[in-house]
């Protein structure tokens, strides 16, 4: 019998978190997508209706904090703590007190640190019973984004943990500055694809379905979610290596004082992993450097399991490991992606080596 539970994501509502610094276009984006009929059966959680500007979307009040839009999308304001709002919405949905919806889009404030919200979605038992984290989307202002990354740690974290990055106001920014920002974001978060957005005009599909679970059974989504190859060292980083485990990094991008604290790397394990040993090491990593783990996600080949095991965590909070239905391809190597602050690859690798040598 397996030690792990199968992925039960099909029974839980997918949640997409849309974050981004002040003025980066979240409100404009929501204003556009909420009028799209493809948003039907979506619930959008916002701080205030007035901030989103819904007057032209033909609202019908359902209750004091919830409205139904002509597109079929339900919009609800966050009342008090987010966990209380999510639990209240789940109860109302179960009792058929709201129009049906099957996914959630959650907007953060511009100054929000995304980590506490990710922790809530990943491992709060009363929340994870009804919801699962699906996507983290970050908007970045092409005009002011570089300065915001220089001056605000929240902006750096928002971009660093995202699954997809949406660059807004490219029509207003200089071509050279937009190119430099794209290069900088690519260095900060190499695993996240970049999309340009003008006046919030975007395919709503980009806001959903970047997680490892695929309701259509297309297992390549696991590969897209992990995007391990993007975090691998470039060839020139191997030139001075003796054994391929401690790359000497060459930075060709002049990163800011904040960006320089952020690292992104992937550890690859060639042989199947013993879960007890691996879990002890991961617990030690969390205990020692939990505050520095902005996001960790991995697909593992575990001894005795024919299916891939997915792990996903933020700081010291990790979702219970779950088995997916199948591997995305013939590559069965375990891959573990780290996005960290003030914690480099060599330190994490050394802790793994020390554990194995002591065993």
CATH 3.40.50.300 positions along the chain are 5-207
Give the fold, CATH level 3, of 220-238+252-358.
Hypothetical Protein Yjia; Chain: A;domain 2 (3.30.1220)
Q: Give every residue of the chain whose pLDDT is below 70, as ranges.
A: 1, 214-219, 233-257, 359
Give the bridge partners for 136, in sequence order.
17
pLDDT in tens, 80-126: 889 999 999 999 999 999 999 999 999 998 999 999 999 999 989 89
Locate CATH 3.30.1220.10 in the chain: 220-238+252-358
> Per residue in 235-246, pLDDT tens?
444 443 333 333
- Judge: domain 5-207, CATH 3.40.50.300: yes
pTM for the structure as a whole: 0.87
């Amino acid at each position: 019998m397996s030690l792990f539970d199968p992925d039960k994501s099909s029974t839980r509502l997918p949640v997409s978190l849309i974050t981004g610094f002040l003025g980066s276009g979240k409100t404009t984006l929501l204003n556009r997508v909420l009028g799209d009929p493809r948003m039907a059966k979506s619930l959008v959680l916002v701080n205030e209706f007035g901030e989103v500007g819904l007057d032209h979307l033909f609202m019908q009040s359902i209750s004091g904090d919830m409205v139904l839009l002509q597109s079929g999308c339900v919009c609800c304001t966050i009342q008090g703590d987010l966990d209380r709002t999510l639990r209240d919405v789940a109860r109302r949905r179960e009792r058929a007190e709201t129009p049906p919806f099957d996914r959630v889009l959650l907007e953060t404030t511009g100054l929000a640190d995304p980590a506490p919200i990710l922790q809530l979605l990943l491992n709060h038992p009363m929340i994870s019973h009804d919801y699962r984290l699906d996507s983290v989307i970050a908007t970045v202002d092409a005009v002011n984004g570089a300065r915001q990354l220089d001056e605000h740690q929240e902006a750096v974290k928002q971009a660093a943990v995202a699954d997809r990055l949406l660059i807004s106001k490219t029509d207003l920014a200089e071509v050279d500055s937009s190119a430099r920002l794209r290069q900088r974001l690519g260095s900060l978060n190499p695993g996240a694809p970049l999309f340009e957005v003008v006046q919030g005009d975007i395919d709503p599909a980009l806001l959903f379905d970047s997680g490892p679970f695929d309701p259509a059974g297309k297992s390549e989504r696991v590969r897209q979610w992990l995007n391990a190859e993007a975090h691998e060292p470039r060839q020139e980083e191997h030139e001075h290596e003796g054994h391929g485990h401690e790359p000497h990094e060459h930075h060709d991008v002049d990163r800011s004082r904040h960006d320089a604290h952020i690292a992104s790397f992937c550890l690859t394990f060639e042989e199947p992993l013993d879960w007890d040993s691996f879990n002890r090491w991961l617990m030690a990593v969390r205990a020692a450097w939990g505050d520095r783990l902005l996001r960790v996600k991995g697909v593992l080949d575990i001894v005795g399991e024919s299916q891939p095991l997915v792990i996903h965590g933020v700081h010291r909070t990790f979702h219970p490991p779950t088995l997916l239905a199948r591997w995305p391809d013939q590559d069965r190597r375990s891959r573990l992606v780290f996005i960290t602050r003030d914690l480099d690859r060599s330190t994490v690798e050394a802790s793994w080596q020390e554990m194995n040598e002591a065993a």
